[in-house]
Amino acid sequence: MHELSLTQNIVELAIEYARRENARVILSLTIEIGALSGVMAEAVSFAFDVCSQDTMAQGAQLEIRHIPGLGRCMACHEQTEMETLSYVCPACGSLALETLQGQEMKFIEMEVD
Amino acid sequence: MCINCGCNGEPNHHHRHDPPTRTVRVEEDLLAKNNRLASANRQQFSTHDLFVLNLVSSPGSGKTSLLERTLTDLQNCLRFAVLEGDQQTSNDAERIAATGVPVWQINTGSGCHLDAHMVGHGVDHFELAATDILMIENVGNLVCPASFDLGEDHKVAVLSVTEGEDKPLKYPQMFQAADLMLINKIDLLPYLRFDLEQCKAFARQINPRIEIIELSCHSGAGMTAWYDWLTSGVAGKRAKKE
């Protein structure tokens, strides 16, 4: 449910940057969401249509890039892809992994006119 | 004058005069605004040597009861203030107010979590210089509050034994973000099929560094360990500044 307030942030941020650039309209936005961020891309897409209504971002294309999760085993130090936070090291079976990548939620860029 | 060909912008010309679409680099974290406000809160709390906890759990884990007991037992040696977060009602704030501790209720309405902005304004109602510990009782929700830094020193996840030992696996973000897990209502263990050791193992699988205290705010079991943790947290915060 917090996707709604995150998406409101995206729209506010987009408008702020667009105004700074003297743009009339926002055509597309690119954001990154990590597999381990706890944010559902589908919920952000859905919320974006609602949040952007009657703003200069209305109708803009929202591109969401998926960042895969990456962890390192704290026992054997092997790196492994992890799609969830509860993950078992495939090399040694340890349960303790630290997260290296996949928790990001980032607004990368946008196309304006 | 047009910089491309030197014309005066006549219509039906051979190229567009309005600037073409362009790419704007943003490169901002989606939580940047909240994180900025959380940093400001953290700085303000540090100025007053305030030890700040963000209590998170599912609804009904016993956060408010735990606070009531803690405040009643410790308010002679530590000065508390409590921020209560709920979607609706001031019921929890009234329960805390009955202990005599300063409390402020934040109603989030449709919101599913507290954010740094709400907390920043919430603490305006307290005399921070005369407070040792600020307890922030977040909205009962194991999902959304995990992402929102409020400026606290620690997130404390409360899990009660009536909930099932696999909660840390089901809601990993929250248990990874927490520094301490309180397993509450352990007086009910004889009546339940709750595997305490399994629960602790699951929590450590998600977060190898998490501290765990088992307690019951009803029977009082384990409360001393929690009080020691609080007292050393306050002392540590003061020592860090000196």
Query: Comparing C-alpha atoms, which of B232, B117, B105, B222 is closest to residue B179?
Result: B232
Structure tokens at B116: 């740094």
Average pLDDT over residues A41-68: 95
* Dist CA B226 CA B184 (whole Å): 11
Q: What pLDDT is attached to residue B5?
A: 59
State whether B22 and A111 contact (CB < 8 Å).
Answer: yes
H helix intervals, chain A: 3-20, 41-51
CA B85 centroid distance within chain: 10
Which residue does chain A place closest to B176, by CA atoms? Answer: A85
B197 touching A (Cβ < 8 Å): no
Reported confidence tier of residue A85, pLDDT bands at 50, 70, 90: confident
Chain A residues within 8 A of B168 when measuring between CB atoms = 86
B200 touching A (Cβ < 8 Å): no
State whether B28 and A21 contact (CB < 8 Å).
Answer: no
B20 exposure class (CB count in 10 Å sphere: 0-12, 13-18, 19+): exposed
**What distance in Å separates residue B46's CA from the closest CA in chain A?**
27
Pairing mode, strands B211-214 and B180-184: parallel
Average pLDDT over residues B1-17: 58
Average pLDDT over residues B177-184: 97
Chain B residues within 8 A of A6 when measuring between CB atoms = 30-31, 147
Size of interface A-B (CB pairs under 8 A): 98
pTM reported for the whole predicted model: 0.83
Average pLDDT over residues A75-90: 85
CA A29 centroid distance within chain: 12
Q: What pLDDT is attached to residue B8?
A: 65
Average pLDDT over residues A51-59: 96
What percent of chain B is predicted at pLDDT more than 70? Answer: 91
Which helix (H) or strand (E) segment holds residue B23: the answer is: strand B22-29
* Dist CA A106 CA A14 (whole Å): 12
Structure tokens at B7: 């014309």
Which of B23, B32, B113 is closest, CB to CB, to A2?
A: B113
Task: Give B59's Cβ-side CA count (13 Å radius).
Answer: 7
| Residue B21 one-letter amino acid | T
What percent of chain B is predicted at pLDDT more than 90? Answer: 79
* Dist CA B169 CA B147 (whole Å): 17
Identify the weakest region by mean pLDDT among B29-33, B43-47, B121-125.
B29-33
Q: Which residues contact A48 (CB under 8 A, 6 or more apart)?
A: A7, A10, A11, A62
Which of A23, A39, A86 is closest, CB to CB, to B206?
A: A86
Tell which B residues from 33 to 92 touch A, by Cβ distance under 8 Å. Answer: 33-34
Residue B16 has pLDDT above 60, yes or no: no
Structure tokens at A38: 């706890």
